[in-house]
Amino acid sequence: MGCYIRVEQNVNVYVEDLDPGNGKPIVFIHGWPVNHKIFEYQFNRLPIMGYRCIGIDLRGFGKSDRPWTGYSYNRLADDIRVIIDTLGLQNITLLGHSMGGAISIRYMARHAGYQVSKLALVGAAAPVYTRRPDFPYGRTKEEANKLIEGTYNDRPKMLEDLGDLYFERYITGSFKKWFQGLGMEASGHSSAMAMMSLRDEDLRPDLPKIHVPTAIFHGVQDKRCPFVLAELMHAGITGSELIPFQYSGHGIFYCEKDKFNRELVRFIG
């Protein structure tokens, strides 16, 4: 069932709630620049197994409203808090992919892990997405700026190129078009603003504030968020579990979907 939740004055966020009864809730936070439908191959399977899957279109993406401002990690984390309160969710697994993983980390730190019992970080763009003098890992700020430039000048081509880097294993041309279509559902301006947050935000101080069981799912071949980021998150989050996917790039939830779904169910219990 889909619905809109008001997270701020004049800002409504779209939420898809696949509720199989009293199943354990999993809140899915998508990455840049797609929407909740990227998790189709989890939504097909997990509700059958009794899990309540809740997909959120972050503001500016998918079916959600597209305000001109409000794309900082703090604001996006606050949106998630409003949705959790509105739906009355408890004992949830918060799952974030890519930028969604970064926002999930900020949520855990900013809201003290409110109502979250487990955290799943999937190809997370953390602890820092871009390099800086004291952090020589990840993408360069110039690469992030090129994505912003491409968003404003030729977004379809930018998304086509991004899809080629997203999935390490062979995908069909039809699948690439589907992925590109998800990106085109977003606002161009929202996409650019969110990439600026990816470029500039630093989550290193947030990691020690995570105190729930955490699983880090990461593709060894990831070209968007290199595997070293997963190792750094693993070192920074006490008691976390690192689950490598040897044959996957950034889109591990599709490239190795059977293993991913199996490991996620094992982790949640």
Three-class DSSP category at 5: strand
Q: How far is CA 28 from CA 58, 69, 83, 96, 170, in A?
A: 10, 23, 12, 6, 25
Distance between CA 35 and CA 115 in Å, rounded?
23
Residue 88 buriedness (CB in 10 A; 0-12 / 13-18 / 19+): exposed
Verify whether residue 78 is a known catalytic residue: no
Verify whether residue 57 is a known catalytic residue: no
pLDDT per residue as tens digits for the range 122-139: 999 999 999 999 999 999
* Residue in 78, 222, 234, 240 annotated catalytic: 222
Verify whether residue 211 is a known catalytic residue: no
- Check residue 242 and report its DSSP letter: E
Which residue in 132, 74, 70 sits closest to 106, CA to CA? 74
Q: Residue 208 has what pLDDT?
A: 98
What residue ranges define each of the domains in the chain, with the CATH number in brackets? 2-268 (3.40.50.1820)
Lateral strand order in the sheet of 52-56: 2-8, 11-18, 52-56, 25-29, 92-97, 116-122, 214-219, 241-245
The residues near 150 (Cβ < 8 Å, ≥ 6 apart) are: 157, 158, 161
pLDDT per residue as tens digits for the range 8-26: 999 999 999 998 888 999 9
Q: Residue 113 has what pLDDT?
A: 98
Does the pLDDT of residue 31 top 90, yes or no?
A: yes
Structure tokens at 64: 């959600």
pLDDT per residue as tens digits for the range 86-135: 999 999 999 999 999 999 999 999 999 999 999 999 999 999 999 999 99
* Residue in 79, 97, 98, 234 annotated catalytic: 98
How many CB atoms sit inside 10 A of residue 175's CB?
14
- Check residue 155 and report its DSSP letter: H
**Mean pLDDT value across residues 174-199:** 96
Question: Alpha helices, DSSP H only, in the chain?
Answer: 40-43, 73-87, 99-110, 141-153, 155-166, 173-184, 188-200, 227-236, 252-255, 257-268
Does the pLDDT of residue 163 top 90, yes or no?
A: no
Q: Is the pTM of this model over 0.85?
A: yes
